[in-house]
Structure 1
């Protein structure tokens, strides 16, 4: 694979000169951990449904990553080959990324909610050579799904299943038989394999697909420098260090889990605890049992944890900070969570393209966490402009532009969509204002995406599918507020003459198109006609207002 990382070279000199790009890869960080704290517990991976907990010291983590890396090389994986992975939070997820980094392969994490439709595009677009899935997870057979897809993906050479067993023994294509079982690291050529293709800090290390407005996902490319230049100031702002224990229940196939649950603990020589299925009472047990001090998740997780602590009366005194991102935090939730959990609630805003952009500070009043989305991190600039590109004064809403040291390397095979101007400003597609103290507040989105519990719903794609329903004349998918998840999706439909439609019919139609469950509309409004502009464009702001009025 040739990666068109066109956004790296123009920034390299200035980013290094300003000290923003540290020039360290995850290999450097892991090697330092092995040298300085080899017997410290690096990772505790908890499988909620199976009740299995697996621990690795830094020495064990590095050794097992080497083993998996040589195993991947035996399968023909080399420098710049894409390894896709649709795993929940697990030790296999963490160590496979470290293994890819040993041999210069690029990891493509994919959310486990995706099914045939999304996977066909992502795996085909990225040219993935290997796809790693759980044999089964939450009742779904991922291996069977992938076996059905493989004939349409000519570049996909291997499907590897975690937990694949035949008569109690690992199957031939299992993770255990191919990667984690054999002592590959002891082979005579192992050292040469592990050192010949190690990536540099400006090589692509991660490919992560994000939903956009074009109707298909975009492959966001990141390097060690773009990732680390965000993680290190983020950790400093949160006062995190080697003595911290990071709990991560947010999916590591999202940038939240990947950057702050996988990379950050290793960069800090700290410890990570990863949870594969979100259960708030289980999270309480992990906070208490493992001494977790920090976590990051969406508003829905904070709501659930605060309610569970209040219901059980459990004390989670070790947890100092809960960083909440993905949707605005209601003021009542901040107060309730502070009283129940005792941790500082921090608000943040960011994007797959650049990680966290703004954070409230630990010394800020609690009010800042629910009335703002924080201040820019070091190495990050933000500005709000009008439609003509002119700067707007404080407290006036406009288009939010960001120029960040952690900005991505570009969209794979979609350089024309990179959205970076000649001065390095990225159009986020969000509407915001900046108050008189420099704090930003996201006030809407010009891009047509709904964020449900931190998960972006690709509205254009869902609408395009619904337009194929035989009873639908017009359709618009819009957000409506939800206390727990932030937003949910409502389908507003004008039926064809003489036709009737209900929500169940729409959902079943989308299921037949293999759409992820989290993307389904959860509400239906039927209208005789859509509100439109004189040119006939549907006025979605009017639909959102209508929903708010109905709810009121």
Structure 2
């Protein structure tokens, strides 16, 4: 479906599929595509009456609700600049996001999950005007006074935030076009909407960049989406069963949570019988998780590769081979080019180097021009900071992060290799491998794991397991830490800086 922006996409889908369902939520709320278009215009009228119009910079920190999706569409209808902030952020991170986006207005849910977002927003030095958006969005019937709908533009319409080296979020600027390019590539490669009974779901924060890309995908594919305000494996699975959800995702932490819930049930009693496809990205996914999803959830896991700056770099197709799905992140989407580089040298297939991207889905730069200059090569390629290689079959395999490489006695160690092996241990649920300062070695290898049950493996047992798996002795962990849960940032990504601070501070 041809469309030039988010609002144009909303309008065109309403014309094509007006009576078909678009959104469901946990409160039994629902909207058709036509109903969504009509209600979004009324929300736009209410926000316009509050002084929000073309070019207004609006930050919002809202849960995954019908009212939030209506607000997103309404702001797009008005031509405002949106700066979504993930609800888990607090004063330091949210304040930095408000400053980076120069938000004039801040939309918040009031008090949600026991936290007063309105009080926090009123305390920021920038003093944005604070409006509360509850379960129901404000609406006005006076839509005749709305300004003209925005036409096609390459201007920044969205500012999304990603963690910087200081721990404070960096503002990545997107136009509608870069997000639409990502959504089109995802829709085509994933095949979403190609089956008449396709029902999608969003169990992750809609303020993440995956939120707008998935909404655009649903509009492009013409399939409904079930919104989940706060992910809880047991409760969310019940919602999925009720609405016969066929595809879900988010990131690896969502896959493993569903697997853990499935393992509580008798063999053959599927958690979500209608489920056939898991999609997501934002964090590495070990091959063992792919095989477990296929064997236990009876679904296909087609894990993708993207980041805030380029929401979809590569997308895996459900039609890919099992080996490709387990071992790679898919192929570059149409409109994206991917190369592997070592400094100024472009490397051949099979050689590990930095993954660099150029194309329609790449962001327009950061809100800080200095950060933008550092992020791009002289010839205009975005430096992802990821290590990986191109395979002869055109698929990309990500092997680590440049900043995550551990240098122990001069030997470079990639944490992803160890993490992939560790989650195959019967006692280990999740694993993160970090380097910690060491006077003798430069860095020592520390494995941080969560457990599947009550069995607590020792360091000797873990290293023995890794030796049997064929890991060279120079890469074996010298420290094992067992935690209840791994710290998260964004869409379930493990926060390795938080782990380094914790265990370096312990002086272990």
Range into which the TM-score falls when normalised by the shorter chain: 0.7 to 0.9
Between the aligned partners of 2:55 and 2:437, the Cα distance in structure 1 is 44
Give the deviation of 1:520 after TM superposition. Answer: 4.4
CA positional deviation for 1:488:
7.6
- Deviations 1:336-357, CA, capped at 9 Å, x for gaps: 2111221111121111111111
| Alignment correspondent of 2:392 | 436
Alpha carbons of structure 1 residues 72 and 216: separation in structure 2 relative to 1, 3 Å: same
Deviation at 1:398, TM superposition (A): 1.2
Q: 1:157 maps to what in 2?
A: 129
The higher relative CO (CA closer than 8 Å, separation ≥ 6) is in 1
Alignment match, 1:269: 222
State whether structure 2 residue 86 is matched by structure 1 residue 86: no
CA drift of 1:153 comes to 1.4
C-alpha separation in 2, matches of 1:449 and 1:27: 42
- What corresponds to 2:432 in structure 1? 487
Q: What are structure 2's unaligned runs of at least 5 residues?
A: 407-414, 424-428, 440-493
Query: What SS does the aligned partner of 1:118 have?
Result: helix
**Is residue 227 of structure 1 aligned with residue 227 of structure 2?**
no
Counterpart of 2:30? 55
CA deviations on 1:308-343 (whole Å, 9 max, x unpaired) are 223232353322211142232222222221112211
Match of 1:13 in 2: none
* Contact 2:249–2:255 (CA under 8 A) maintained in structure 1: no
Residue 201 of structure 1 and its aligned partner are, at CA, apart by: 4.1
TM alignment of 1:146-545, pairs within 5 A? 146-147=121-122, 149-150=123-124, 152-154=125-127, 156-162=128-134, 180=138, 182=139, 184=140, 186-187=141-142, 190-193=143-146, 195-213=147-165, 216-241=168-193, 243=196, 244-260=198-214, 262-312=215-265, 313-314=269-270, 316-387=272-343, 389-414=344-369, 417-418=372-373, 419-447=375-403, 481=419, 483=423, 484=429, 487=432, 520-521=498-499, 523-525=502-504
- CA–CA separation in structure 2 for the residues paired with 1:114 and 1:74: 29
Q: Please name the residue that 1:171 is paired with.
A: none
Query: Unaligned stretches of 5+ in structure 1?
Result: 1-20, 47-51, 164-175, 451-477, 495-516, 529-546, 548-552
Deviations 1:354-408 (Å, cap 9, x if unpaired)?
1111123322222223322222111111111112x11223322112111121111
Number of residue pairs aligned between Structure 1 and Structure 2: 431
String of CA shifts for 1:473-528, please: whole Å, max 9, x gaps: xxxxx99958455638787699xxxxxxxxxxxxxxxxxxxxxx977448524687
TM-score of the pair, normalised by structure 2: 0.77
Task: Give me the CA root mean square deviation.
Answer: 3.0
Matched, 1:124 2:99: yes
Q: Partners in 2 of 1:449 and 1:107 — Cα distance?
A: 35
> What SS does the corresponding residue of 1:96 show, helix, strand or coil?
helix
SS for the counterpart of 1:355 is coil
| Structure 1 residue 217: Cα displacement | 2.3
Asked if structure 2 preserves the Cα contact closer than 8 Å seen for 1:143 and 1:161, the reply is no
> CA, structure 1 residues 360+35, in 2 after alignment: closer, same or farther (shift >3 Å)?
closer
1:77·1:129 contact (CA, 8 Å) conserved in 2? no
What is aligned with 1:134?
Answer: 109
| CA pair 130-406 structure 1, distance change in 2 beyond 3 A | same
> How many angstroms apart in 1 are the aligned matches of 2:29 and 2:346?
52
Q: What CA deviation, in whole Å up to 9, does each residue of 1:18-76 have, x standing for no partner?
A: xxx96521222211222232222211122xxxxx3321122321222112211111121
1:393 counterpart SS class: coil
